[in-house]
Chain A
Amino acid sequence: MMGDRPSPPRAMSSAPTSSPSVDKVDGFSRKSVRKAKQKRSQSSSQFRSQGKPIELTPLPLLKDVPAPEQPELFLKKLQQCCTVFDFMDTLSDLKMKEYKRSTLNELVDYVTVSRGYLTEQAYPEVVKMVSHNIFRTLPPSDSNEFDPEEDEPTLEASWPHLQLVYEFFIRFLESQEFQPSIAKKYIDQKFVLQLLELFDSEDPRERDYLKTVLHRIYGKFLGLRAFIRKQINNIFLRFVYETEHFNGVAELLEILGSIINGFALPLKAEHKQFLVKVLIPLHTVRSLSLFHAQLAYCIVQFLEKDPTLTEPVIRGLLKFWPKTCSQKEVMFLGELEEILDVIEPTQFVKIQEPLFRQISRCVSSPHFQVAERALYYWNNEYIMSLIEENSSVILPIMFASLYRISKEHWNPAIVALVYNVLKAFMEMNSTLFDELTATYKSDRQREKKKEKEREELWKKLEDLELKRGLRSDGIIPT
């Protein structure tokens, strides 16, 4: 009848309450409250021990030397900037850090405005300088349970230099004098691979720069395109099936969004495979909310390119439909609406049955946000027109849920929405509607009967198993 009761009082009136001690804080508060808002910063994992102080010999400014000497000086400055400083030690090498900062600034300006500076020897030196500065092993994340939605991101300590290096590299790639045919010797697959690994950086500012860099490289180096796509593939697959942790998914998807936009028709098998085997499974990841907008954009891009992909996409979403996470369910419904907005009627017919079976489950979800999101479909004119055209198929699928919800749902707003939907159906196809209303009861009874038959079948099977198990210890004679 009843088990032990927890200790809180029911007889409140007679129970003197102990005053809770204010100074004692227990571990139940939300993370965001618990953690004082502190700026955390991290440095790369490369400084193993403090060495001696770094000395760089100051060089004259580029603008102060005659033009013919500038390329030479430019190279020297690039070489100086290969020196990397430890920013976690805020007191060391202050002068030299400042010197490098101003040199980098000067280099940024120089590649932006100068002409004729990009000699062939400059390419390897630029790539070397960039590599020395940006390529590093990212340090461990501060906590295993880093929650990107709640926690402040850890910022890169060496950003004052790093930002300028990225800035410089982007200006270099965008420079009118930049020649991919020379650069491709240095900006190769290995370079790209290291660049992609940096997308895991926790610092959003860095990921933003990386996005631009990768986009430029994709645009200028045709020979690297397939490779870049394949490596992004691998990063996503690892993210979905192995680690569930990678900070730069949204940024990579953003780049892909514009890449997909440029795909030629008909789509290559490789691209279709990417859609079905990589993008769709990305929906299963726990942290979906962090990149869902970008992901949905990519999916819709694909469908606008090739409507025949609608069926596999929707089937994929239905396969991975969230079972327990209502927030994700709402996101799925949102994405599905985006897809339905561009669906072709011929495609819709192919997928309507499984699709509306799911929608019917969503409509009857006890979580009102899920039910509400699904019911909003009936406010969408295009979707309404598709439903109307196919009401003879959709209405029987939806009817039982709607009818039940209109009587049982706890949330009055949902009940009101359901009435509107029922009304719409009634106007669309009143004959069928009346029929379904009339047979609702007997249909339910038929279902119950089927249920009972199933139980009996299984019971018989179990008896059989028991008998045989007893007789021959699991080994079955024929």
Chain B
Amino acid sequence: MAGADGDDSLYPIAVLIDELRNEDVQLRLNSIKKLSTIALALGVERTRTELLPFLTDTIYDEDEVLLALAEQLGNFTMLVGGPEFVHCLLPPLESLATVEETVVRDKAVESLRKISQEHSPVDLEVHFEPLVKRLASGDWFTSRTSACGLFSVCYPRVSSTVKAEIRQHFRTLCSDDTPMVRRAAASKLGEFAKVLELEYVKTDIIPLFTALASDEQDSVRLLAVEACVSIATLLPQEDLETLVMPTLRQAAEDKSWRVRYMVADKFSELQKAVGPEITKNDLVPAFQNLLKDCEAEVRAAAANKVKEFCENLPEDNREQIIMSHILPCVKELVSDTNQHVKSALASVIMGLSTILGKDNTIEHLLPLFLTQLKDECPEVRLNIISNLDCVNEVIGIRQLSQSLLPAIVELAEDAKWRVRLAIIEYMPLLAGQLGVEFFDEKLNTLCMAWLIDHVYAIREAATSNLTKLVEKFGAEWAQNTIVPKVLGMANDPNYLHRMTTLFCINALSEACGQEITTKQMLPVVLKMSNDQVANVRFNVAKSLQKIGPVLDSNALQTEVKPVLEKLSSDSDMDVKYFAQEAISVLALA
């Protein structure tokens, strides 16, 4: 075939370019997404000399098309002839890095970062670095914003003169008069610090960090907090106190709650970065303040970090710090006015028991767990219950079971079905920890009640819950406790409940085994094939298909087959369909 070797004449560029120019955006988008195919058809030479110039010149399109283009160009190195020619991709990406739409710009920067690695050191200085400089001194804020993300990828591989220039550009952008650019610079500050020589971290980055951390806009200041983590990791311990801590202390008490929130949110990282000594002297009081902050947002973010913070405290006096400094704040949070704060705390508080050990847990934490188990907000109770395993390891769940039960019952009947759904999901876990006796006595009724919930999602979850319980407690338990109840529902006047019987059988047959399935379940299913509701009948067909593999061939031939045959001539077309499907899957034809 003539085209086997990529006969270029078969695919004149005009036709391909026509595709890229099509009036219909969707078609343009499709062609751009297959740009690599077009390039492949053209060959590397023509891709470089014809396709790329075309793309560079015609960059005015819908953002969606530009986004696809920016992404494609990041993977284009081989298509223009390998690393030797990779710089050909720079012009279109440069234009894309200046467009307004953030996602397009970000994607262009991502692609530029990617292909920067494919440049030789010489090309980096000859082609890439000048592009960064042009962007950094662009008129409109978009190009300067993009430049911020490119400094760190070229810095390590250029000569020291160029390095000095790059540092200078970064400095300039950190004090740009548009806040958008300062935000971009602040968000790349940590990343840039990491590639700088330590002396420049001290002489260049620290002043920038200090300046950005006291910017007039809180949206800039809060980004400096993020950079603080990387910068603190880079500096030797003895410099932290003078270079970083003044700024960090100031951030923890910033007048804007957004900044304080960021500090709370990054607390574990900050703690690791500054080390145990500073943690003890500075961060413990700061953390106490955040836990008592006037804004609920900040308190919730800090409450989320309680466990991690305590875990990472230096072991020598961890217990003492927790008991005398952190626990008093935690006690207050248990009765906070804001439910998000309480629920954030409830999601981590149980973790403290492993850190504090049995005696402290019983004396100090248990009362808090019990209070939270009675909280008015279901999410708080739920978070406690979902973390029971931590306590179980330390003091055993028995200590809690008295309070646990009312909490579980209340959640099981909560008006919001999502809450009910969440508690169902913890049932297998609870059953395992509380034991079969407790379960039969107290929780079994709940599990069965969910099967007739008025929300389908709950009935469905209740069904799969039963399977998990049977896996835990065994077939015999199933036969005695749940199978009779499930089968009893087959006579319910509500067809939805009758269908639930079928769904349960589908889920349970395998776990219960051939004996129970054949003797107890199958007769019920077969009987339901006469149901007056078509939905029930076609679910009978589906159930038979599902439990067929568990049955022996005798039962299949003598009992299942006749029923399916009858259903396959049902008046309802769906019943017919599923009956026929079952017959063919079970090979009964």
Contacts and interface: CB of A to CB of B under 8 A. Distances in A.
Q: A and B, one complex?
A: yes
Interface string B1-14: 00110100011000
B41 A464 contact: yes
Interface string A1-45: 110010101110011111011011111000000000000000001
A46 B456 CA distance: 48
Interface string B132-148: 00000000110000000
Given A24-B454, A140-B295, A475-B78, A234 B6 contact: no
A476 interface: yes
B563 to A, nearest CB: 20
B242 to A, nearest CB: 28
Given A14-B533, A241-B102, A460 B415 contact: no
A234 B181 CA distance: 11
B147 to A, nearest CB: 16
B245 to A, nearest CB: 21
A465 B178 CA distance: 46
Contacts of B493: 16
B217 to A, nearest CB: 8
A396 interface: no
Contact of B179 (A9, A190, A234, A464): A234
Nearest to B141: A237
A277 interface: yes
Given A47-B294, A461-B11, A1 B577 contact: yes
B239 to A, nearest CB: 31
A14 to B, nearest CB: 4
A28 to B, nearest CB: 9
A7 B101 CA distance: 44
A474 B78 contact: yes
B203 interface: no
Nearest to A197: B217
B454 A20 contact: yes
Interface string B531-573: 0111100100000000000000000000000000000000000
Interface string B36-69: 1110110111000000000000000010000000
Classify the interface of chain A: helix, strand, loop or mixed.
loop
A149 interface: no
A49 interface: yes
Given A24-B454, A26-B417, A2 B34 contact: no
B456 A468 contact: no
A225 interface: no
Contact of B532 (A11, A277, A474, A478): A11
A48 interface: yes
Contact of B496 (A7, A24, A46, A468): A7
A428 B41 CA distance: 48
Contacts of B297: 140
A41 to B, nearest CB: 14
A476 B574 contact: no
A37 to B, nearest CB: 20
A327 to B, nearest CB: 20
A193 interface: yes
Contact of A140 (B36, B44, B81, B257): B257
Given A9-B533, A464-B6, A238 B180 contact: yes
A381 interface: no
Contacts of A190: 216
Q: What secondary structure prevails in chain B residues at the interface with A?
A: helix
A17 B494 CA distance: 6
A23 B413 CA distance: 11
Contact of B416 (A7, A27, A465): A27
Contacts of A467: 4
Contacts of A462: 37
B416 to A, nearest CB: 6
B79 interface: yes
A45 B294 contact: yes
A457 interface: yes
Given A7-B456, A277-B140, A464-B41, A2 B574 contact: yes
A475 B83 CA distance: 12
A234 B180 contact: yes
B165 interface: no
B100 A478 contact: no
A26 B455 contact: yes
A476 B43 contact: yes
Interface string B295-313: 1110000000000000000
A160 B44 CA distance: 72
A281 interface: yes
Interface in A42-84: 45-49
A139 B40 contact: no
Interface in B247-296: 255-257, 292-296
Given A24-B415, A277-B140, A454 B37 contact: no
Contacts of A49: 292, 294
Contacts of A23: 415
Given A5-B574, A7-B456, A46-B255, A458 B34 contact: yes
Interface string B386-399: 00000000000000
B79 A25 contact: no
B499 A461 contact: no
A286 interface: no
B19 A454 contact: yes
B179 A48 contact: no
A26 B420 CA distance: 11
A357 interface: yes
A216 interface: no
A49 B292 CA distance: 9
Contacts of B499: 7
Contacts of A237: 141, 178, 180
Nearest to B259: A137
A120 interface: no
Max chain A Cβ within 10 angstroms of own Cβ: one of B41, B416, B577 = B41
Contacts of A205: none
A242 interface: yes
B325 interface: no
A290 B417 CA distance: 34
Interface in B142-188: 178-180, 183
Contacts of A9: 495, 533, 535
Could you say which of B78, B493, B533 has the most chain A C-beta atoms within 10 Å of its C-beta? B533
A238 B454 contact: no
Interface string B482-499: 000000000001111101
A359 to B, nearest CB: 14
Given A7-B456, A16-B494, A319-B62, A241 B45 contact: no
Nearest to B103: A241
Contacts of B34: 458, 461
B180 A241 contact: yes
Contacts of A48: 293-294
B567 to A, nearest CB: 15
A10 to B, nearest CB: 6
Given A460-B11, A461-B34, A461-B40, 8 more contacts: A1-B577, A24-B454, A137-B257, A140-B295, A242-B180, A242-B183, A281-B100, A476-B44
20 contacts: A7-B456, A9-B533, A9-B535, A15-B494, A16-B494, A25-B416, A26-B415, A46-B255, A139-B295, A237-B178, A238-B179, A241-B101, A454-B27, A457-B11, A457-B15, A458-B37, A461-B40, A464-B3, A464-B41, A465-B37
Interface of B: 3-4, 6, 10-11, 15, 19, 23, 27, 34, 36-38, 40-41, 43-45, 62, 78-79, 81-82, 100-102, 140-141, 178-180, 183, 216, 218-219, 255-257, 292-297, 415-418, 454-456, 493-497, 499, 532-535, 538, 574, 577
What 6 pairs across the A-B complex have the smallest Cβ distances?
A14-B532, A18-B494, A140-B297, A15-B495, A241-B102, A461-B37
